[in-house]
Amino acid sequence: MPLPKAELHLHVEGTLEPELAFELAARNGVRLPYADTDELRKAYQFEDLQSFLNLYYELMAVLRTEQDFADLADAYLARAAAQGVRHAEIFFDPQAHIARGVPMGTVVEGLWRALGRSEENHGVSTRLIMCFLRDESADSALETLEAARPYLDRITGIGLDSAEVGHPPVKFREVYEAAAALGLRRVAHAGEEGPPEYITEALDVLGVERVDHGLRCMEDPALVERLVRDRVPLTLCPLSNVRLRAVDVLADHPLAAMLDAGLLCTVNSDDPAYFGGYVADNYHAVRDALGLAKEQMRELARNSFRASFLEDDEERRAR
């Protein structure tokens, strides 16, 4: 029995497995520049975040209809349930779809078709987090928030993803303020490839409650002290860090040191179809590479619920 856990850092578009990509391509008459799933899988060799993002955005071309988004999310939820996931907070990238002529409504209604039945079908509760692409403009992010207005009852929070370096959090101050005023929860990717200063800025300027990755905090002892003191959760993605070369090999991953430092670490899968494993695979990989003890594995699973928005909702209801 896998440990019950929550997954807090998962891009739904990053769960598109090659088989489903080809199935959707055929269904929608989209031509992929790969002969078959084997050839596509061979393209999964990444130098860095950008080289991955290029393929990630390219394959999205197959996602066109509500049913496509429903099938994508349902396939993820089935796999997640088999890996012990009981709760999933799921990112999506509306700008990447709107730019291809797929409206916000198609994306959200499609995802909801799967998420709305997830508890009964898979035993997994869900939340949706809408991410802004940080390599697009601040105005585009504001327009995206506006486009999401009719769907805000289905969207718990906002995030910030895509190419990090050169796109500091401060660029998105206004849209984060607007989202906070609408009652949306706030997270952001920071310190994946970008410097520790981006983590500080995400906390101070964007008011994030949780930091996605946050890996590079370890370069700044004062920041680590602050994250520990304020119990700021970090959503780490170990297999992603290896595939995108943020760390050389898993044995060098700072997770064990981060736990020892008292950081509220969680383990997640990021883009599991691309990075070689779903969330339990990430747990097992760090256990084996870093020699984590059973109690540390339990701590990671406990942290995942503690760091989730579900916990807060239930605490609020109880009060």
Binding-site residues for substrate: 271
Q: How many residues bind ligand ES4, per CB under 6 A?
A: 11
Among 68, 74, 192, 201, binds ligand ES4 (CB under 6 A): 192
- Indicate the annotated binding residues for Zn(2+): 9, 11, 189, 270
CA distances 105 to 139, 150, 258, Å, are 20, 9, 40
Between helices 18-28 and 66-82, what is the axis angle to 10°? 160
Instruction: Pick one of Zn ion, ligand ES4, none as the site partner of residue 162 (Cβ within 5 to 8 A by kind).
Output: ligand ES4
Query: Nearest residue to ligand ES4, using CB?
Result: 161
Minimum distance, C-beta of residue 162 to ligand ES4, in the bound complex (Å): 5
Cα–Cα dist 204/223, whole Å = 12
For Zn ion, which is the closer residue by CB, 17 or 270? 270
For ligand ES4, which is the closer residue by CB, 45 or 121? 45
> Which two tokens mark 256?
């064990």
> Which two tokens mark 173?
């101050």
Among 162, 200, 266, 269, binds ligand ES4 (CB under 6 A): 162
Handedness of CA 133, 234, 283, 80 (dihedral sign): negative
For Zn ion, which is the closer residue by CB, 133 or 280? 133
Contact 268, 279 (CB under 8 A): yes
Dihedral angle computed from the Cα positions of residues 283, 288, 294 and 299, in that order, rounded to the nearest 10 degrees:
-40
Give the residue among 224, 138, 234 at the shortest CA–CA distance from 188.
234
| Active-site residue, from 13, 192, 193, 201 | 192
Cα–Cα dist 260/224, whole Å = 11
**Is 13 among the catalytic positions?**
no
Residue 136 found at the interface with Zn ion (CB under 5 A): no
Residue 161 found at the interface with ligand ES4 (CB under 6 A): yes
Instruction: Write the interaction track for ligand ES4 spanning residues 129-158; mark x where CB under 6 A is met and - where it is not.
Output: ------------------------------
Minimum distance, C-beta of residue 144 to Zn ion, in the bound complex (Å): 18
Among 126, 184, 271, 304, binds ligand ES4 (CB under 6 A): 271
Cα–Cα dist 128/77, whole Å = 13
Residue 240 found at the interface with ligand ES4 (CB under 6 A): yes
What residues pair up with 158 in beta bridges, in sequence order?
130, 186
Task: Give SS3 for 194.
Answer: coil
> Which two tokens mark 155?
């969207």
Among 5, 7, 8, 14, binds ligand ES4 (CB under 6 A): 14
Residue 7 found at the interface with Zn ion (CB under 5 A): no
What is the amino acid identity at position 120? E
Task: Give SS3 for 87.
Answer: strand
Residues in region 267-306 near Zn ion by CB under 5 A: 270
Residues labelled catalytic: 192
Instruction: Enumerate binding residues for ligand ES4 (CB under 6 A).
Output: 11, 14, 49, 56, 161-162, 189, 192, 240, 270-271
